[in-house]
């Protein structure tokens, strides 16, 4: 097992509001103290097939790793401080790492 290599610094975003039509929208509110998290976000391709025609297609997925002390929640977001790209945290779990200590593995969706 290898240690994750940091790909940049990320801000942890949380919060929602309602727009003029009462639809829920995400707010870009940084969680206090977590505006510059050193983390790893990498793209992984996955080949899947559609049920209707069994045509193969590639799906872009992103996997992130942050230190285990970062208080992530489902539907929180990570913003890449260099590019401004925002990833929604679809799911997460803490995993052991004998080199770096426990890390939180994130399944991410690129939203911007």
Domain that holds residue 32: 8-110
pLDDT at 32: 93
In a domain, 58, yes or no: yes
- As for how many domains the chain has, the answer is 1
Write down how long the chain is. Answer: 112
pLDDT at 97: 76
DSSP symbols for 20-87:
TTS-EEEEEEEPTT-SSEEEEEEEEEEEEE-TTT--EEEEEEEEEEEETTS---TT-EEEETTT--EE
pLDDT at 1: 40
In a domain, 3, yes or no: no
pLDDT at 8: 94
Environment class of residue 10 by beta-carbon count within 10 Å: exposed (0-12), middle (13-18) or buried (19+)?
Answer: buried
pLDDT at 104: 94
Along the 112 residues of the chain, how does pLDDT read in single tens digits?
445 688 999 999 998 888 888 888 887 889 999 999 999 999 987 666 666 777 777 667 899 999 999 999 988 999 999 999 999 999 999 998 787 788 999 999 888 6
In a domain, 67, yes or no: yes
pLDDT at 16: 81
In a domain, 62, yes or no: yes
In a domain, 20, yes or no: yes
In a domain, 2, yes or no: no
Helix (H) or strand (E) run with residue 10 in it? strand 8-18
In a domain, 1, yes or no: no
pLDDT at 75: 85
Give whole-number Cα distances, 3 to 30, 36, 47, 84, 93, in Å: 27, 20, 26, 25, 16
Domain CATH code at residue 67? 2.40.10
């Amino acid at each position: 097992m290898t240690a994750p290599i940091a790909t940049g610094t990320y801000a942890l975003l949380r919060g929602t509001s309602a727009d003029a039509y009462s639809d829920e929208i995400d707010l870009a509110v940084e969680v206090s103290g977590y505006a510059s998290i050193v983390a790893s976000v990498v793209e992984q391709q996955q080949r899947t097939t559609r049920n209707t025609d069994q045509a193969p297609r590639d799906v872009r997925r992103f996997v992130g790793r942050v230190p285990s002390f970062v208080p992530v929640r489902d539907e929180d977001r990570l913003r890449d401080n260099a590019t401004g790209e925002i990833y929604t945290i679809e799911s997460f779990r803490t995993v052991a790492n004998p080199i770096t200590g426990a890390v939180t593995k994130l399944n991410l969706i690129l939203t911007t």
